[in-house]
């Protein structure tokens, strides 16, 4: 119920949170949820019942768990490891073992050991077919017989199903590996879990036995080639010794080295002697041209004992001649004898000097010849030693080859004997710590969790639906919203009339049927009178956006309220759905607004008085 805005006092839109587009009105959201609480509760109840029904139809699944200890190093069957064998990190090793546990070979071994192809959960022949079997329909139309399942298909399906239900994991950084099987049959689940652990250990043992046998076969083949290689290297060494005539290289080499050492020492002495002889020879040669007397003064000649003796004899003879010459004349027989002795001594000295010089020349020549002879002998010994060394290097090389081949052959022979002796002895680095026992409680489905999640999702969906409906609902829900969006003041709010009074809703104010309703009508009347205090209006129009919103009831009761203060004429202008004549029991054919407009009746004939209100029906 609105009235025009006064031109002298324009209506101001109320300021508040509603003008802020980023403001979230939690109170409004809560009101929207609370107003639809029963719908939300109904949705949650339906979802709860449906979830409990579905959970009751679900088959419980039991999970049997076993633990296996896997060590990185077990007791090796062979102490011999290939040269390329490198240590593996613990995490990488465990990941490899986890993959082996989940391998198809281990799963197929368990399926065959437990005959799971006959179990309802793994037997392809006992599985329910599809709701619509298009293949069967096509075969029926074409008249072809469906193909029978092969043993390979049955085994493959059982193995794949078993692998899908197998879980393997490691907790923390330990070496304990946990494995589990999930099945509807709790006894079979425990049995399959233990058999899986045992199958893994047996597969590891068989793999190690196969490796041992493969290694033994490879070493046997290798041993044949090594034996031939050792024989060839020994033959080659012996052929070289025979060709070179070698028996004991160590003894020959030692003798040659000693001879070379002695020859070197002698050659050093000969070089020293040759240098001394050469020095004397050079002195003599430098004085040869100056006569024998100068030769006699050479230290090498002068130091000779005979030269010194002859020198002494000459000096004695000269001294005698000088002594006699002072007493006798030159022709004196004593002088003649003394001169004769002097000449004889001089001739002897000269002869002896010549002999000593000749001896020096011979000594020099002998020293040079001796040095050359020793040098030739030294070079010969040195060449022989070098030749022996070269042959020794060759022999040592052939001997090392023989020793290397023999050591490798002996190693392979030892390993082959060990492998052959321990071929039936094998160990593994895995053992079962805790065997699986039949579980007492199912692991899936988690009914409590599923029910809680379903109820939570239903609650969220109900709240979301309520909020979305509130957002999509563009109707007015409060007077503030009307004033905010339309920019007009609200004159009053009429409460909803109880269902038992709705037939007399147009007479409520007249008869004081509902106090709340009557008070709301009075409030509207008061607001209208106050809003038009300076400029009273004679005409009020009551309308609505859609039919059956209560405009006829509000207008009739407002007319009775205004009739207490003024003379009021109530006109029913709803020509399609007239209600005034029915509400106030006007006689059929009573002239109304249509007759007045059409000129078929006068104004006085169309006006009917009810209480203190004049009325014109449609």
Name the residue ranges covered by the structural domains of the chain: 249-421, 491-616
pTM higher than 0.75, yes or no? no
CA dist 400 and 200 (Å) reads: 48
Which has more pLDDT, 136 or 480? Answer: 480
The rounded percent of the chain whose pLDDT value lies above 90 is 16
CA dist 62 and 420 (Å) reads: 47
Token pair, residue 154, equals 């049955």
Task: Indicate the CATH number for domain 491-616.
Answer: 3.40.50.300
Residue 249: per-residue pLDDT: 53
Residue 73: per-residue pLDDT: 64
| Confidence band, pLDDT 50/70/90 cuts, at residue 4 | very low
C-alpha closest to that of 55 among 614, 480, 442 = 442
Token pair, residue 353, equals 């000097």
Asked if pLDDT for residue 118 goes beyond 80, the answer is: yes
Residue 409: per-residue pLDDT: 82
How many other C-beta atoms can be found within 10 angstroms of the C-beta atom of residue 458?
21
Identify the DSSP state of 303: T
Q: What is the mean pLDDT of residues 78-97?
A: 61
| Confidence band, pLDDT 50/70/90 cuts, at residue 189 | very high
CA quadruple 79, 82, 84, 88: dihedral, nearest 10: -40
Q: How far from chain centre, in Å, is Cα 55?
A: 40
CA dist 520 and 543 (Å) reads: 18
Q: What is the mean pLDDT of residues 530-555?
A: 79
Asked if pLDDT for residue 163 goes beyond 70, the answer is: yes
Number of H helices, E strands in the chain: 20, 7
Contacts of 197 (CB under 8 A, 6+ apart): 66, 68, 179, 432, 435, 436
Specify which of 171-180, 208-217, 277-286, 502-511 reaches the highest per-range mean pLDDT: 171-180
Task: Indicate the CATH number for domain 249-421.
Answer: 1.10.287
HSE-up of residue 486 (Cα within 13 Å, Cβ side)? 16
| Confidence band, pLDDT 50/70/90 cuts, at residue 42 | very high
Residue 5: per-residue pLDDT: 40
Residue 8: per-residue pLDDT: 42
Asked if pLDDT for residue 90 goes beyond 50, the answer is: yes
- What mean pLDDT is reported for the chain? 78
Q: Which of 80-84, 259-263, 387-391, 490-494 has the lowest mean pLDDT?
A: 80-84
Does residue 220 contact residue 423 with C-beta atoms inside 8 Å?
no
Q: Which of 29-38, 143-152, 237-246, 256-265 has the lowest mean pLDDT?
A: 256-265
Q: Which of 237-251, 290-304, 601-615 has the lowest mean pLDDT?
A: 290-304
C-alpha closest to that of 494 among 427, 550, 415, 532 = 550
Asked if pLDDT for residue 331 goes beyond 60, the answer is: yes
Asked if pLDDT for residue 407 goes beyond 70, the answer is: yes
Token pair, residue 35, equals 């107003």
Q: Dump pLDDT digits (tens) for 282-307.
A: 666 666 666 666 666 666 665 667 66
Q: What is the mean pLDDT of residues 405-417?
A: 82
Residue 47: per-residue pLDDT: 92
């Amino acid at each position: 119920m609105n009235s025009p805005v006064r031109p002298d006092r324009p209506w101001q839109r109320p300021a508040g949170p509603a003008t802020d587009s980023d403001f979230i009105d939690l109170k409004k959201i809560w009101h929207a949820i609370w107003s639809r609480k029963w719908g939300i509760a109904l949705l949650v109840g339906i979802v709860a019942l449906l979830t409990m029904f579905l959970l009751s139809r679900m088959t419980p699944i039991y999970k049997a768990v076993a633990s296996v200890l896997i060590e990185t190093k077990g007791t090796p069957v062979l102490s011999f490891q290939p040269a390329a064998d490198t240590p593996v990190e613990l995490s990488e090793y465990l990941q490899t073992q986890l993959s082996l546990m989940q391998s198809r070979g281990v799963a197929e071994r368990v399926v065959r050991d437990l005959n799971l192809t006959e179990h309802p959960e793994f037997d392809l022949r006992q599985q329910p077919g599809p709701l619509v079997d298009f293949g069967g329909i096509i075969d029926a139309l074409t008249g072809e017989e469906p193909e029978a399942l092969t043993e390979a298909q049955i085994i493959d399906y059982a193995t794949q199903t078993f692998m899908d239900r197998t879980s393997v994991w490691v907790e923390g950084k330990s070496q304990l590996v946990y494995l589990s099987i999930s099945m509807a049959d709790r006894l079979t689940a425990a049995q399959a879990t233990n058999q899986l652990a045992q199958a893994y250990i047996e597969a590891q043992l068989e793999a190690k036995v196969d490796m041992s046998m493969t290694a033994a076969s490879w070493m046997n083949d290798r041993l044949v080639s090594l034996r031939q290689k050792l024989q060839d290297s020994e033959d080659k060494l012996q052929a070289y010794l025979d060709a070179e005539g070698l028996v004991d290289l160590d003894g020959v080499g030692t003798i040659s080295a000693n001879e070379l050492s002695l020859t070197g020492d002698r050659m050093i002495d000969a070089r020293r002697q040759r240098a001394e002889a050469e020095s004397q020879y050079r002195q003599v040669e430098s004085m040869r041209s100056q006569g024998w007397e100068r030769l006699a003064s050479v230290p090498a000649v002068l130091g000779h004992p005979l030269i010194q003796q002859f020198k002494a004899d000459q000096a004695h003879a000269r001294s005698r001649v000088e002594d006699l010459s002072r007493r006798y004349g030159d022709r004196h027989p004593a002088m003649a004898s003394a001169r004769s002795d002097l000449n004889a001594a001089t001739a002897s000295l000269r002869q002896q000097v010549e002999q000593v010089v000749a001896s020096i020349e011979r000594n020099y020549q002998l020293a040079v010849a001796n040095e050359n002879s020793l040098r030739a002998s030294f070079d010969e010994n040195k060449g022989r030693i070098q030749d022996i060394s070269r042959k020794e290097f060759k022999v040592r090389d052939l001997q090392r080859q023989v020793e290397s081949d023999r050591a490798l052959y002996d190693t392979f022979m030892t390993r082959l004997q060990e492998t052959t002796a321990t071929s039936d002895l094998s160990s593994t680095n895995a053992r079962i710590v805790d065997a699986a026992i039949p579980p007492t409680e199912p692991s899936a489905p988690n009914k409590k969790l599923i029910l809680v999640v379903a109820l939570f999702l239903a609650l969220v969906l109900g709240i979301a639906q309520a909020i979305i409906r509130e957002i999509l609902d563009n109707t007015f829900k409060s007077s503030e919203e009307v004033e905010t969006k339309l920019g007009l003041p609200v004159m009053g709010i009429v409460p909803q009339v109880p269902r038992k009074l709705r037939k007399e809703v147009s007479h409520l104010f007249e008869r004081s049927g509902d106090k709340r309703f009557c008070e709301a009508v009075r409030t509207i009347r008061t607001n209208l009178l106050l809003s038009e205090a300076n400029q009273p209006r004679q005409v009020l129009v009551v309308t609505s956006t859609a039919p059956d919103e209560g405009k006829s009831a509000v207008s009739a009761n407002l007319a009775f309220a205004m009739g207490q203060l003024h003379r009021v004429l109530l006109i029913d202008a709803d020509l399609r759905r007239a209600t005034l004549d029915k509400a106030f029991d006007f006689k059929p054919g009573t002239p109304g607004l249509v007759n007045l407009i059409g000129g078929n009746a006068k104004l006085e004939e169309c006006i009917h008085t009810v209480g203190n209100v004049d009325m014109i029906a449609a």
